[in-house]
Amino acid sequence: MSTPAPAVPTPSRNTQTAVEQGHRSGMRGRLLGRQPGWFAILWRNRKCRIGLLILAGFVLVALFAPVLAPYDPRSNDFPTSLGPTGDHWLGTTVQGEDVFSQLVVGARTSLIVGLAAGLLSTLVGLVIGLTAGYAGGWVDEILSFLINLGLVVPALPLMVTLAAYSPVRGLWLIIFVISVTGWAYGARIKRSQIITLRTRDYITAARFAGDGTARIIAREIVPNMTSLIVVGFMGAALAAIGGEAGLAFLGLGDPLTVSWGTMLNQASLGGAMITGQWAWLIAPGLTLALLITSFTLINFGIDALSNPHLREDG
Amino acid sequence: MAYFARRFAFFLATLWAAVTLNFLIPRLQPGDPAEAIVSRIGGKGQAVDPAQLEAVRTMLGAPGGNLFEQYVRYLGAVFSGDFGVSYSYFPYSVTHMIGEALPWTLVLVGVTQILSFVIGTLLGTWAAYRRNTRVDSVITLGSTFVGTLPFFWIALLLIYVFAITLRWFPERGGYGGGSSPGWNWLFISDAFQHSVLPGLALLITGPIGWIIGMRNNMVQSLGEDHARLAVARGLPERRIAITYGARIAILPNVTGFAIALGSILGGTVLVETVFNYPGMGRLLLESVSNKDFPLMQAIFLFTTIGVLIANFLADILYGFLDPRVRKAENS
Amino acid sequence: MTLLEVDQLSVTYTPRDQPAVRAVRDVSFTISDGEFVGLLGESGCGKSTLGNALLRLLSPPARIIGGRVLFDGADLATLHTRQLRELRWTNLSTVFQSSMNSLNPVIRIREQFADTFAAHRVTDNVDTRAAELMELVSLDRRVLRAFPHELSGGMKQRVALALALALRPKLVLLDEPTTGLDVVVQRSILDRLAELRQELGFAVLFISHDLGTVLQMADRVLVMYAGEIVENRPAAELRSDPRHPYTRGLLGSYADPRQPEVRITSIPGRTPDLSVSHPGCLFAPRCPYAEDACTQTHPALLPDHGGLVRCLVAQADRLPTTPPGPLTGATVDPAFVATGGAEVASISPGIADAAGTSSAGAAGARSPNAGSGSLSAADTDEATGAGETAAILVVHDVHKRYTTRKGLRTNTVTAISGVSLALHRGRVTALVGQSGSGKTTIARLITGIERPTTGEVRFNGGGDGDGDPTRVDRLRGRALRDYRRHVQMVFQDPFAALNPTRTVAYALSRPLVNYGGLRGGAARDRAAELLESVGLFPAGQFLDKLPHQLSGGQRQRVVTARALAPDPAVLIADEPISMLDVSIRAEILELLADLVRTRRLAMLYITHDLLSARLLADEVLVLNRGELVESGPTAEVIGAPRNDYTKLLLDSIPRL
Amino acid sequence: TGTEQQSSGGTDGRVAFLDYGDFGGGSNPQANYNPYLDATRLGATDYVFEQLVVYDKYACEAKPWLATEYAWKDPKTLIWTLREGVKWNDGKPFTADDVVFTYELLKQHKALDNTGIWRYLSAVQATDAKTVSMTFGEPGAAAFTLFGEIKIVPKHVWSLVDDPVTFTNPEKPVGTGPFTVKAFNPQQLTLGRNPDYWQADKVQVDELRFHKADGGGQVDQLKLSRGEYDHNGMFVPDIKKTFVDRDPEHNHYWYPPGGSISFYMNLTKAPFNDTAFRKALLTAFNRQEIADKAQLGYVTPASQTALVVPGQAAWLPSDIPNQGVMGFDLAEADAALTAAGYPKNGQGKRLGKDGRPIAFTFRTPGEWTDWVQAGKIIVGNLTDLGFDVRQEGPTPQTYEADRAAGNYDTLLGVHGGSCNMFRNFQEPLASDQSAPIGKKALSNFVRWTDPRTDQLIETLRTATEESAQKAAVADLTKVMVDEVPMIPLWYGAKWFQYRTARAVGWPSEDNPYAAPGDNLLIITNLKPATAAK
Ligand SMILES: Nc1ncnc2c1ncn2[C@@H]1O[C@H](COP(=O)(O)OP(=O)(O)OP(=O)(O)O)[C@@H](O)[C@H]1O
Ligand SMILES: Nc1ncnc2c1ncn2[C@@H]1O[C@H](COP(=O)(O)OP(=O)(O)OP(=O)(O)O)[C@@H](O)[C@H]1O
Ligand SMILES: [Mg+2]
Ligand SMILES: [Mg+2]
């Protein structure tokens, strides 16, 4: 059973490390069932492993985008509407920008959107779900109503409408809009989870031990929802990445940002189909699919962490 | 009964919230509807003539009175189906425009949604029935991969391949210029031809969610004791798969399906945009890019109400389908 | 004639993430036509797995790795699916462990019968036939029109039983068919089962860990331990002359509370890890009679004293003989006591822990409250003595009504009406009653989780002990927190009462930090002391463990330690042993008794298990539908019940 | 492609039909032939209704149309002589009553008066059946282009309409024009030749088919490049490759310049309030690169004079070099800035008069990608000069609101380009079009307030003689060059693609008889391709 060891145990701290290690492996074991470390489980699942590798690739590309991109993605010093050439692997845009550089830098945008919107909507969902589930009573009634409202309000039209009402168009707007439309599902799941957790004896016991509500939520409840939160985060991030691309494709994105969605939008407007610039049109779509696929694949593993039914599926 | 009463109360409350939000959002927005209309009428870059502005404002019956009075008037108007005049289709009313776009969306998206659900449920059932076999892997993995392809991108490719290169189907629009909308065979076949590609685009990605959901639910319910007992009782495999697996597994999908059906009203912005399909989605996007607030609001309200009604009906249906629900609600 | 023959059957679980578990090992036995065979064993010993293997219902990762199952001469393992399907239910039917989930929730009961008939081409009219079956299990035929969720647990279980008998099978496999049901309901179903068997004459394999029931109902008993059959013997002989040390241990942990003398013991240690191979006897580490050979040689199941037993010592006839009549105090196998097992009735402060380490087992410190016949007098003495000291907590004429909203209508449930009781320091008051009688509600009222609709809960122990009593029913916020410094609760389910993500040290330090003002190291030291005081030592070994690394008994002790951390004056223990195996129960009971004595706690012991009430309590209150129907000193109430309801409760206990 | 021969089979050797591009009305067009509802009417109104004069918007020349002549009786009175023999397409004769009715209609329904002609007019009367006189409150010549091109509607139809503002005129709109509405569905609008048209002989096309476009998306570009349109007016990326090269013999385009797109500085803020500073920036922008890169080479750099050259070159004063188009010379700009008191510091930062580095923002609507691209070049140039410039891309609404209220440092704006010289200068420069910061300015967004400019504009407004107008315009161009209220960078292009496979006679660079959009002029000049050969 491979438990990822805490970084570099120094000999002098050996005993303590051992304890810590035991403790952590316990934590992980719990979190994921009676299992070896979470990473090991994810890694052993073949789908998930592939997903992790792809994602790692994207993260690296995004991190080193400035180094990897051969040119400034917005520099339009090149001949326009080129097909793939040695200098421009995926050709140039109608404005003479290097498509490959845009693709590389676009990875950054997608990951940032995924991360930020995922975090934001997870956070909002968590706070609202937790409050509703824990407080109960009329607070719950109101928040549940909000959650249900958030669930029935159609997301894309709302995104489009919100994007239209806002005075500025930027990546953060997109992130905001996606979070606003994406929190409800997570909130509902977290609410129902917390409702089952709330009535657990150990929560009542914590109250008998004199702990306050905030502490109970933070220390007793949230740690038990970790896998739920992670799955929720992945789902939200995935939706956000797709959402950003869709909005950008509709022309509701931030044209100053290079993203795969804006690339597709511009490829579509810029006549990539007529000029036969296949690479320009296909590349952003495929990379987008690949990134989303990686998330989906990882989700298989994460689902398996919390749902033993899925674990046997290989 | 209590269950339905509760659902109905929720329905009314949400409806009210949606209508009110719709009232408030544009009012938080700076700017003057009359000005928006004038700048639409006059075209871009034209300096606005104050006299014209005033005339339009009078014509629109620009909002007067305090917020509450406006609100009451607005509620009255909404419930009598009067959403005002569309800026981008002036002088046509919002209701008229929605009436034009709705049938297209209803047919295209409605049919594909239902088909997606049916196909997805069948495939999901099949995968669960043959779980952990090759059929299962092909269905699950295949749909996972296809499901991640960007939707609009598939649409673009479809256009390129089938409309532009092969010229099998028209590349865009809901019908051709030659036919005239109506209940004649020419028009219907024309409209059908036009709907093939957008329908296909929707059908490629549509069933995925249902497949995965159905499969996982069913694997779960087949693992439960009552299904195992059914095996012990010597029931035929098929009967178990249907009554003890699919019959239960489909329940959680019903609400999702209802929401999907309800959101038909909003159209599918991306596909309709790519295919220039004259439905609600494109109307919405257009109203957005033209800042046609009355139209935008109305479409949004429509969509929300659609989902709400569908949701409400689904809840009721669910109450019949799943005897456990009413009980659960009560406790 | 032999109906079922199991020959060297072995089942292994090979989960992806864990080592393979050999859950059933080389099991062989037979069942004859019409025979009632009981299968007894602690939780996790492989009973259900064996049952599923017989039904060919194992699903991955479980797999039969050896052996045969012959039913009526046909090898179940090699039958074709179609043949198997025909054999199922017409010959071999079952009732599962969990009544909650064994019926399809979305179709009516009638359909489930119709299903079964259709599958086996029974041409009778479904309604008539199903109605007959309903009558058979004493259910109204209207039940047929219901959905499963509209039925109570007992009704569902009856339906399951009726379903099992629908095709008049030759063998019915009952896997703990009444677990989770109320004692009274349990009794009635089992009685009905016995009658039906008389009428219909089917054979039964009855799986249970409830020793009393198995002994009462079965013709022959199989005792299972760690996947093996360790003893196979007619029921009567098993009771009078148990040959396997494990069987003896089990018998020692059970007693009939109506007996004038009651004693129980626990089996120390834990069941072995089935994923590693053990060379010797699997029970050897826990066995008081273990010899050197036992750790080397794996015993075979061999004839012995008219049955079969898997024990080297027994086979060599070196077992100490024990007086007959194992179910009274006098018959407790002294061996267990000697090795540090707890003999609860004669309280010893030492508690056997997992490692089998024993503490200063100063036996003989007589319990004031339970046990042998001579105790009834002592009981009364103590009771009167305690009666003179002022009650520390008084519940006076409390009513509790719950209002449930059903949409627009409201519904009122009276959970408690007119209950009064008093708790005294150093005394245990047992609150018994069937499920739903309001026991937990009283606990919640006392601890301030809920407020009574009318009535008072007064607490006299705040501050220095004198001054005005605290009105518990009016406390909120901080005051409630302060109150709980004095009144703590031991939760019913040790698995639910500890946060799976928090260490023992954390759980224990919270009350210390909050009530004791201790910080960091000091809190940790104190936590360690508490652990040792509940018999978990060395404490350092437990402090940093997470709940899942502890056994049920260990968890229960941690929970108890936590409740003791603020040094409370009153302890409310809500069914603290209901989830535990019989062998652990004794251990916990002893701990509780010891605490009451050493700390002069006032304790309210809530249970539906009269045996434990008999062992622990000075006084018993019987609750029925929210009303106290009988109360008095333990021996009197249990020994000579006056109220019908109390009698019913007592009658539900198998008479041996 | 070999499609040239087949389809000129119209009657009498006319072109049977031509395929045109979009016909307006949004994505789901509704029948709307109200010629005054500019944004939502369908393109057909251009061909159904006519006006008194038709401007050639390229050379800014008025051509007599429904009126054969016009004459200023005095600076405040204009007499129109109407054409004889003109009939409405329902057979009724066109008379002076119709003209008067039309102008009165706009007077009563201000909402329809898009160009605000009743700001100038005081009365319109019919002197007889063929003569109409217009009187003005003040000399009216400056507004001629506005009221001369009002579409005339039939009194016998429109007088029966309840509310002309919401009248969509959906059934067989009655007009005097060369075409009538033949069929309409939201995908296609078909116009048929009006055989009774007063100059029917000049209309050589039997049918015009307008096709609903997807707003310049891929499919339309593709159809264009496949030769499926005889004429279209949309943005096409890389037009040479995607259109012309596909059929060089027939595929052509001509993108004449429209209004100027200029660098607007908020003149109420330092350092933009310093003329020397602004002048120094004249050579700071690489206009050619903007034209070539951001605008794909479809446009030309703009003249500092605010006139559209070469079309309006006749209005230029003779002493302006290179028609007022400024070069790009960073060194010169740098020197001029330093001389004006804005030196660079050690780190290469340009310092203001207060000694601190100059930092400001530059805005374009974020959705207008070509402007955003141009903005990049502009910001690059300014950065090279040591300015600290931040580019922002708000929504068009915010951009417009901030521009009107003066809440900006610098941004891009459009002005001029019309045939009305008065408006070309009045709108961006007159102080009555301005407003204090925070209040909405009508069109003088840079807030240029200069008595001399106001006076020149006034002169232009009231001048009836062309020479006087020219003098005033010349002086105004001097203001532009010397005082630099704004810096024009490039001309917006008017998109115009055409094919000569079926019809010839399209306006082009060689034969610029009309600007794109002068539909009546173009349709009366088209000839069948075969006949021309
Ligand atoms: N799916 C599984 N994977 C791995 N091990 C399992 C699985 N199911 C059961 N086991 C193991 O098999 C052993 C026997 O389990 P089984 O359910 O047969 O016990 P039991 O005697 O019926 O217990 P109980 O009285 O609690 O029902 C246990 O040790 C258990 O841990
Ligand atoms: N929160 C509540 N709302 C409504 N009714 C309740 C609530 N809590 C308890 N009841 C009802 O009060 C009665 C007594 O319940 P309680 O939990 O006290 O029984 P109990 O004796 O502890 O039963 P068990 O042995 O099953 O734990 C039951 O009928 C129950 O349905
Ligand atoms: Mg079991
Ligand atoms: Mg209880």
**pLDDT band at C73, cuts 50/70/90?**
confident
The strand ranges marked E within chain B are: none
End-to-end CA distance of chain C: 29
Check contact B-A (3+ Cβ pairs < 8 Å): yes
**What would the mean pLDDT of C589-595 be, rounded to a whole number?**
85
Residue C438, pLDDT > 80, answer yes
- Specify whether C420 is located in the same domain as C278: no
* Cβ pair D276, D341 in contact under 8 A: yes
CA D169 – CA B170 distance, rounded (Å): 31
Identify any residues that bridge with D124 across adjacent strands, giving them in sequence order. D134
**Nearest CB to A96 within list D293, D369, D397:** D293
- Contact between chains at B153 and A285 (C-beta distance less than 8 A): yes
* A74, part of any domain: no
- Contact between chains at C88 and B234 (C-beta distance less than 8 A): yes
* A3, part of any domain: no
Buried b (16+ CB within 10 A) or exposed e, D427-456: bbbbeebbbeeeeebbbbbbbbbbeebbeb
Looking at the 3D structure of chain A, how many domains does it have?
1
**A residues 155..174 contacting B (CB < 8 A):** 156-158, 160-161, 163-165
Ligand 2 centre to CA of D284 (Å) is: 84
- D214 in contact with chain B, both atoms CB, cutoff 8 A: yes
* A239, part of any domain: yes
**What would the mean pLDDT of C236-255 be, rounded to a whole number?**
86
Comparing CA positions, the residue from A234, A276, A279 lying closest to residue A103 is A279
> What is C129-186 written as a DSSP string?
HHHHHHHHTT--GGGGGS-GGGS-HHHHHHHHHHHHHTT--SEEEEESTTTTS-HHHH
- D108 in contact with chain B, both atoms CB, cutoff 8 A: no
pTM of the entire predicted model:
0.78
Residue A18, pLDDT > 60, answer no
Q: Is the dihedral of CA B41, B42, B48, B52 positive or negative?
A: negative
Tokens representing C97? Answer: 């462990």
- Specify whether C49 is located in the same domain as C77: yes
**What would the mean pLDDT of C206-231 be, rounded to a whole number?**
90
* Cβ pair A39, A301 in contact under 8 A: no
- Specify whether C406 is located in the same domain as C332: no
* Cβ pair A230, D178 in contact under 8 A: no
Comparing CA positions, the residue from A53, A26, A27, A58 lying closest to residue A42 is A53
For residue range D299-315, what is the model confidence (pLDDT) as tens digits? 999 999 999 988 888 88
- The CA–CA distances, whole Å, from D394 to A117, A235, D373 equal 21, 30, 14
Tokens representing D141? Answer: 């010549």
- Specify whether C156 is located in the same domain as C256: no
Per-residue model confidence (pLDDT) at position D27: 79
* C361, part of any domain: no
* Cβ pair D216, D237 in contact under 8 A: no
Per-residue model confidence (pLDDT) at position A3: 35
Residue C325, pLDDT > 60, answer no
For residue range D389-440, what is the model confidence (pLDDT) as tens digits? 998 877 777 788 889 889 999 999 999 888 888 889 998 999 988 989 988 8
Neighbouring CB atoms inside 10 A of D317's CB total 16
Per-residue model confidence (pLDDT) at position A29: 36
Q: In what order do the strands lie in the sheet with D121-128?
A: D67-74, D77-82, D131-136, D121-128
CA D420 – CA D428 distance, rounded (Å): 13
| pLDDT, chain B, mean | 79
Which of C191, C225, C259 is the last residue before a domain boundary?
C225
Per-residue model confidence (pLDDT) at position B281: 85
Share of chain B above pLDDT 70, in %: 82
**pLDDT band at C17, cuts 50/70/90?**
low
CA C27 – CA C284 distance, rounded (Å): 19
Interface mutation vs chain A, best among C444, C508, C510, C543, most A CBs within 10 Å: C510
Measured in residues, chain A has a length of: 314
For residue range B233-250, what is the model confidence (pLDDT) as tens digits? 888 888 888 888 888 888
Per-residue model confidence (pLDDT) at position A314: 40
Check contact C-B (3+ Cβ pairs < 8 Å): yes
CA D62 – CA D274 distance, rounded (Å): 40
Per-residue model confidence (pLDDT) at position A166: 67
Residue D152, pLDDT > 90, answer yes
- Specify whether C422 is located in the same domain as C550: yes
**pLDDT band at A7, cuts 50/70/90?**
very low
Which residue puts its alpha carbon closest to atom 8 of ligand 1? C13
**D residues 162..191 contacting A (CB < 8 A):** none
Ligand 2 centre to CA of C587 (Å) is: 28
* Cβ pair C464, C453 in contact under 8 A: no
CA C603 – CA C196 distance, rounded (Å): 43
Which of C313, C337, C361 is the last residue before a domain boundary?
C337
**What would the mean pLDDT of B124-145 be, rounded to a whole number?**
86
- Specify whether C212 is located in the same domain as C315: no
One-letter amino acid for residue A153 of the chain? V
Per-residue model confidence (pLDDT) at position C462: 57
Looking at the 3D structure of chain C, how many domains does it have?
3
- Specify whether C49 is located in the same domain as C191: yes
Per-residue model confidence (pLDDT) at position D276: 95
Residue D83, pLDDT > 90, answer yes
Which residue puts its alpha carbon closest to atom 3 of ligand 2? C402
* C230, part of any domain: no
CA C163 – CA C93 distance, rounded (Å): 9
- Contact between chains at D212 and B174 (C-beta distance less than 8 A): no
Interface mutation vs chain C, best among A202, A227, A313, most C CBs within 10 Å: A202
Residue B67, pLDDT > 90, answer no
**Kind and range of the H or E element at B187?**
helix B185-205
Identify any residues that bridge with A91 across adjacent strands, giving them in sequence order. none
Identify which has the larger pLDDT, A168 or C91.
Answer: C91
CA B283 – CA D192 distance, rounded (Å): 30
- C119 in contact with chain B, both atoms CB, cutoff 8 A: yes
* C364, part of any domain: no
- Specify whether C429 is located in the same domain as C513: yes
Within 6 A (CB) of ligand 1 lie: C 13, 15, 21, 23, 41, 43-49, 61, 97, 209, 274
Chain B residues within an 8 Å CB radius of A253:
none
Per-residue model confidence (pLDDT) at position D175: 94
- Give me the domains of chain B, ranges plus CATH numbers: 2-80 (no CATH), 101-150+206-330 (1.10.3720)
* Cβ pair B280, A161 in contact under 8 A: no
- DSSP, collapsed to helix, strand or coil, labels residue C476 as coil
**What would the mean pLDDT of D217-223 be, rounded to a whole number?**
79
Chain D residues within an 8 Å CB radius of A254:
366, 393
Check contact D-C (3+ Cβ pairs < 8 Å): no
Pairing of strands C92-95, C74-75: unpaired
**pLDDT band at B64, cuts 50/70/90?**
low
Buried b (16+ CB within 10 A) or exposed e, C336-354: bbebbbbbbbbbbbbbbbe
**pLDDT band at A10, cuts 50/70/90?**
very low
Per-residue model confidence (pLDDT) at position A272: 78
Q: What is the CATH number of the domain that holds A244?
A: 1.10.3720.10
* A171, part of any domain: yes
Identify which has the larger pLDDT, D50 or B93.
Answer: D50
What region does B256 belong to: left with phi over 0, alpha with psi -120 to 50, or beta? alpha
Share of chain A above pLDDT 70, in %: 78
Burial classification of residue C615, based on how many CB atoms lie within 10 Å of its CB (0-12 exposed, 13-18 middle, 19 or more buried) = buried
CA D295 – CA D289 distance, rounded (Å): 9
Residue C327, pLDDT > 50, answer no
Residue C458, pLDDT > 60, answer yes
Burial classification of residue B74, based on how many CB atoms lie within 10 Å of its CB (0-12 exposed, 13-18 middle, 19 or more buried) = buried
Per-residue model confidence (pLDDT) at position C340: 32
Range of the domain at A294: 42-62+90-310
Q: Which of A166-170, C165-169, C420-424, C520-524 has the lowest mean pLDDT?
A: A166-170
End-to-end CA distance of chain A: 18
- The CA–CA distances, whole Å, from D67 to C362, D82, D86, D179, D420 equal 128, 4, 10, 19, 19
ipTM of the complex in this document = 0.75
Which residue puts its alpha carbon closest to atom 5 of ligand 1? C13
**pLDDT band at C485, cuts 50/70/90?**
confident
- DSSP, collapsed to helix, strand or coil, labels residue C588 as helix
Cβ–ligand 2 distance for C413 under 6 Å, the answer yes
**pLDDT band at D191, cuts 50/70/90?**
very high
**What would the mean pLDDT of D91-99 be, rounded to a whole number?**
94
- Specify whether C177 is located in the same domain as C262: no
- Specify whether C249 is located in the same domain as C221: no
**What would the mean pLDDT of D282-308 be, rounded to a whole number?**
91
Nearest CA in chain A to C567: A209
Q: In what order do the strands lie in the sheet with C393-406?
A: C409-423, C393-406, C454-459, C470-471
For residue range C139-189, what is the model confidence (pLDDT) as tens digits? 888 889 888 888 877 888 889 888 888 888 889 999 888 777 778 888 888
CA D345 – CA D354 distance, rounded (Å): 13
**C residues 305..364 contacting A (CB < 8 A):** none
* Cβ pair D198, D93 in contact under 8 A: no
For residue range B159-192, what is the model confidence (pLDDT) as tens digits? 888 887 888 888 777 777 666 667 777 788 888 8
Range of the domain at C421: 387-651
Q: Which of A226-230, A302-306, D341-345 has the lowest mean pLDDT?
A: A302-306
Chain D residues within an 8 Å CB radius of B282:
27-28
What region does B81 belong to: left with phi over 0, alpha with psi -120 to 50, or beta? left
Chain A residues within an 8 Å CB radius of C502:
219-220, 223
- The answer to whether the bond into D310 is cis (omega within 30° of 0) is yes
Side-chain half-sphere CA neighbours of B65 within 13 A: 10
- The CA–CA distances, whole Å, from D166 to B78, B94, C265, D34 equal 21, 14, 96, 8
- Specify whether C148 is located in the same domain as C32: yes
Q: Identify which of C9, C45, C551 to mutate to test ligand 1's pocket (most ligand atoms within 8 A of the CB).
A: C45
One-letter amino acid for residue C518 of the chain? L
For residue range A203-223, what is the model confidence (pLDDT) as tens digits? 889 988 888 888 888 888 888
Residue A30, pLDDT > 50, answer no
Q: What is the CATH number of the domain that holds C24?
A: 3.40.50.300
- Contact between chains at A250 and B304 (C-beta distance less than 8 A): no
* Cβ pair C484, C566 in contact under 8 A: yes
The angle formed by the CA atoms of residues A218, A220 and A226, to the nearest 5 degrees, is 75
Residue A2, pLDDT > 70, answer no
- Specify whether C457 is located in the same domain as C529: yes
Which of C225, C254, C270 is the last residue before a domain boundary?
C225
